[in-house]
Structure 1
């Protein structure tokens, strides 16, 4: 293949962001957060989410998601609470330590976006964002 598939190019960019964010988190003392834990934590919502839904969105088994949530909980990034809609179920919520890590991650993501905008120019960056948002309509079942 002469040119890489667009999906590979997106993956390379996503992995770059993931590594930059991980490095920033580690430098700030969040060095116990593994890439697998971070990928699961990235799917947490303000209202909480069930482990089964985390597993589905992360495309991992429920057992793997449970292990990762256990690790996140032991490290104080998340907490589990009763689901008000179903007393038999529990929701995973982001804890204060997780929220601080999340703020740092978002700050690093914004810095990367500014760098990419300087490199591509505002017009091309806007076009990239628009094209990726349009693709999300057909690629992201959780949009």
Structure 2
């Protein structure tokens, strides 16, 4: 059956609604792509944060702005998938360092390469990215 409902005139929508719909559409696509790689959004953020070297779990949680418990669950999934390892910190035996494995680095790189296609190439547009960064920075400053 063909729908007879007219297409909405998006140009009449308030900016907040446009941003919310755009974010939801990108998130839905991103979740599907990441799922196909064995990742979650939280897992990708952790891998991204670990790309420059190993970190203790608490430091990683702070950098990712999540609780220690949330990071623990994320790291459990990443370790089970073979994307990270946890080893004793030679400087402090009470702590463990989390580091990327070769497959963790590879899946991170694959996710980074997949991103532009999700956004129809906008992820590579410097002006678009600059606008998003400006928006986030300005809105964050109000908190």
Q: TM-score range by the shorter chain?
A: 0.5 to 0.7
* Structure 1 residue 87 displacement after superposition: 4.8
When the two chains are superposed, the root-mean-square deviation of aligned CA atoms in Å is 3.3
* Structure 1 residue 65 displacement after superposition: 1.3
* Structure 1 residue 85 displacement after superposition: 5.2
Q: Note if contact 2:85-2:100 (Cα within 8 Å) is conserved in structure 1.
A: yes
Match of 1:8 among 5, 12, 20: 20
Q: Match of 2:66, SS? A: coil
2:66 match: 60
Structure 1 alignment gaps of length 5 or more? none
Structure 2 alignment gaps of length 5 or more? 1-12
- The structure whose Rg is larger is 2
1:128 match: 128
Residue 21 and residue 44 in structure 1: after superposition, are their counterparts in 2 closer, same or farther (change >3 A)? farther
Q: Match of 1:91, SS? A: strand
Residue 3 and residue 94 in structure 1: after superposition, are their counterparts in 2 closer, same or farther (change >3 A)? same
Aligned residues: 126
Q: Match of 2:110, SS? A: helix
1:21 match: 33
* Structure 1 residue 95 displacement after superposition: 0.6
Q: TM-score, normalised by structure 1?
A: 0.64
